Amino acid sequence: MVTNEIYQQQEQKLKEQICEIGRLLFARGMVASNDGNISCRTPDGNLLVTPTGVSKGSMTPDMMLKVDLEGNVLEGTWKKTSELPMHLRAYEVRPDIQAVVHAHPPTATGFACAGEPLDDYVATEAVYALGCVPIAPYATPSTPQVPDSITPLLAEYDAMMLEFHGVLTVGADLMAAYYLMESVEQYAKICLTVRQLAPGRTMPREKIEEFLEIRRQANVPGRHPGFRKLPRYPAGYWYFDQK
């Protein structure tokens, strides 16, 4: 039987890990000021989430909030993030995931603002870890539009960019979700460099499929979209489609 004391010890370790990931995001320039948010499931079926209004580089475990799957605060005195509904939707749609990370890595966010998904297939590591990274249509921050915009993508993707906003990653644990965020930003940097040095250059299709087969045989966890080209979006398309 798992006792309350064991639950508390496990939760404390998760809180400490969230703080460490916050420091990594800040140190690598993927968040500034009080940008970004991090969450994870707890052993008792609830969630731990970072508070709003605090730098992710200076968080302490006592700042974490514990909420239920409806977003009600169970423990903690800090104000919950307005992006919490986005996290809740991810856990609702993907019962297999244990953690969610949202940040604003500058190169990947630049691609999101430009309406350019990451699907150039120019690096073996990106093909293996990510496949392609789509863009969720623009949604006004802190509104129900945000969770609605990511819902169609969650079934197939563990990483997605948010148009004019940032990047969202999910994973089997906190570090998996964080590492995916690092991979998205690295992939974006490589794509940008290749577009400058050799526009249009990409891996041959047969080599991509060969590498993806190696990945399938290795039973790598997580969702992987395989090889596909994604649509480009003109600025304002989502806004005008809703009028």
> What is the domain-level CATH number for residue 83?
3.40.225.10
Query: Burial of 4 by CB count in 10 Å (0-12 exposed, 13-18 middle, 19+ buried)?
Result: exposed
Q: Cα–Cα distance between 219 and 216 in angstroms, integer?
A: 5
Percent of the chain with pLDDT over 90: 72
What are the two backbone dihedrals, phi and then psi, of residue 195, each rounded to the nearest 5 degrees?
Answer: -65, -30
Looking at the domain assignment, is residue 237 inside a domain? no
Q: Cα–Cα distance between 107 and 192 in angstroms, integer?
A: 8
Q: Six-digit token pair at 228?
A: 């596909």
Q: Cα–Cα distance between 34 and 59 in angstroms, integer?
A: 10
Half-sphere exposure of 218 (CA within 13 A, CB side): 12
Q: Give yes or no for a contact between 191 and 111, defined as CB atoms under 8 angstroms apart.
A: yes
User: What is the count of structural domains for the chain?
Assistant: 1
Looking at the domain assignment, is residue 242 inside a domain? no
Looking at the domain assignment, is residue 119 inside a domain? yes
Looking at the domain assignment, is residue 236 inside a domain? no
Looking at the domain assignment, is residue 101 inside a domain? yes
Looking at the domain assignment, is residue 218 inside a domain? yes
pLDDT band for position 235 (50/70/90)? low
Looking at the domain assignment, is residue 161 inside a domain? yes
- What does the pLDDT look like over 147-194, one tens digit per residue? 999 999 999 999 999 999 999 999 999 999 999 999 999 999 999 999
* Domain of residue 122, residue span: 4-227
- What does the pLDDT look like over 13-63, one tens digit per residue? 999 999 999 999 999 999 999 999 999 999 999 999 999 999 999 999 999
Q: Six-digit token pair at 221?
A: 């966890």
Looking at the domain assignment, is residue 215 inside a domain? yes
Angstrom distances, CA of residue 86 to CA of 71, 150, 155, 208 = 11, 8, 15, 32
